[in-house]
Amino acid sequence: MLWFIFTLTVITFLDRLAISASMPEIARAFSFTPEQKGLVFSAFSIAYAAFEIPSGWLGDRFGARLALTRIVLWWSAFTSLTGAAIGFRSLVVIRFLFGAGEAGAFPNVARAISRWFGPTEQGRAISVSFLGLATGSALASPLIFSLLEWQPWRWVFVELGVIGALWAIAWHRWFRDEPEEHPAISSTELAEIRRGRESTTAPDSHRIEWRKMLASRNMVLICLMYFAYGYGIFFYMTWLPTYLIEGRSFSIGSTKWLAALPWVISLPSYLFGGWLTDRLARRAGGLKLARCGVGITGYLLSALLLVMVAQVANNQLAALLLALALCAQTLTACAAWAVCLDVGRRSAGVVTGLMNTVGNVGGALAPVVVGQAVGRYHSWSLPFYVMAGLFICGAIIWAFVDPERTVLD
């Protein structure tokens, strides 16, 4: 189960970041301005945000097996079609449809985890998914830049799409929505999974209580907290290679590895974040410190490091500080997704989808804001001050989240 989750998230972020690593060459081919680059990057996030909740609901309604099969096949098709773009407008449309297809991937991963792991193991299981995220992201720049050295950028996207389609076929053949439905599971393992969980004998309700959910103070706080996360992470997913080349004057050869550095450094952070939040949940006797304490710490550290990036003149030091800032930010990821399972229960797909929708609204704004700052104001420092300010606000919001109170209470 964990290997499927890990490989899925590797493929997910390898496909997402392929456009980032390829953008210098694509921009030269189509003569894109900084503002146009920002819009291309944002097209994915806009669609992802729009379709995240419906795709999360489909997982709650039909199960993660069918939902993830559909999601991966869709996004793989449009990953391949990215190579057929003929200009700015066609690329924006293709990236929008790519985002629409990929929407719901993580909520359905979270739903699968909620069915296959007990409450005190879910943080670590989510860590594995984020470990795949960091691995795929770390592989993207070295792999894509290397492939671009000996083949056109269009073929890179075709090849990535084929990999995703193969994963979808294997997932549909192996996975079952409930552990007891899998022929290879033992009664001992099933008892371990069920320990500490609410009974799953009652049928899931597919009715979404939107009024209660949207009126929930907890739900609003979680979404606002995650807006900052989505805004910050999408800088690294979109503008990072361009920033290193244009903003810090690194060569393409250096950028290939420096763009991977933040994700490599974040690998232990993703793992440690899940382990830490589970350990605190067991030792502290409650979820408040386990989730919110980790979230506040990560956001404040990231804000401090981003301010230093904006002010430092040494390019090598700036690249290192930027990598450490992502490491601090990603420490909070497992806590954020685990708190959705805490407060969402059987509506975990919709709750995580709603949180991730707002996060992707932030993700849609980030590339546009950076494009405007660079194109209109010729500033690479302003984007980092904006990110730091959002993380400070996010840390304050984290303090008021209550993991012990469900969104339907």
How many whole angstroms separate alpha carbon 285 and alpha carbon 8? 33
Q: Is residue 120 part of a domain?
A: yes
pLDDT of residue 202: 43
Burial of 68 (0-12, 13-18, 19+ CB in 10 A): buried
pLDDT of residue 198: 53
Task: Decide if 265 contacts 327 (C-beta within 8 A).
Answer: yes
For 100-135, write each residue's pLDDT tens digit.
988 888 878 888 888 888 766 777 787 788 788 889
Q: Is residue 195 part of a domain?
A: no
Mean pLDDT across the stretch 335-346? Answer: 82
Phi/psi region, residue 63 (left: phi>0; alpha: psi -120 to 50; beta: rest), is: left
pLDDT of 90 > 90? The answer is: yes
Output the CA–CA distances (angstroms, integers) from residue 80 to 31, 91, 169, in the order listed. 22, 12, 17
For 188-238, write each residue's pLDDT tens digit.
888 877 775 554 444 455 566 778 888 889 999 999 999 999 999 999 999
Task: Decide if 173 contacts 47 (C-beta within 8 A).
Answer: no
Q: Is residue 193 part of a domain?
A: no
Q: Is residue 304 part of a domain?
A: yes
Q: What CATH number should be reported for the domain holding residue 89? A: 1.20.1250.20
Mean pLDDT across the stretch 342-348? Answer: 75
Task: Decide if 124 contacts 276 (C-beta within 8 A).
Answer: no
Q: Is residue 194 part of a domain?
A: no
Q: Is residue 403 part of a domain?
A: no
Q: Is residue 37 part of a domain?
A: yes
Percent of the chain with pLDDT over 90: 58
For 22-44, write each residue's pLDDT tens digit.
998 999 999 999 999 999 999 99
pLDDT of residue 278: 78
Residue whose pair of structure tokens reads 């993830």 in the numeric block: 68
Task: Decide if 163 contacts 11 (C-beta within 8 A).
Answer: yes
Q: Is residue 173 part of a domain?
A: yes
Listed range (168-172, 337-341, 366-370) with the worst mean pLDDT: 337-341
pLDDT of residue 116: 85
Residue with the bigger pLDDT between 376 and 209: it is 376
pLDDT of 316 > 90? The answer is: yes
Domain, as residue range, for 316: 2-179+206-398
Domains held by the chain: number? 1
How many whole angstroms separate alpha carbon 60 and alpha carbon 67? 9
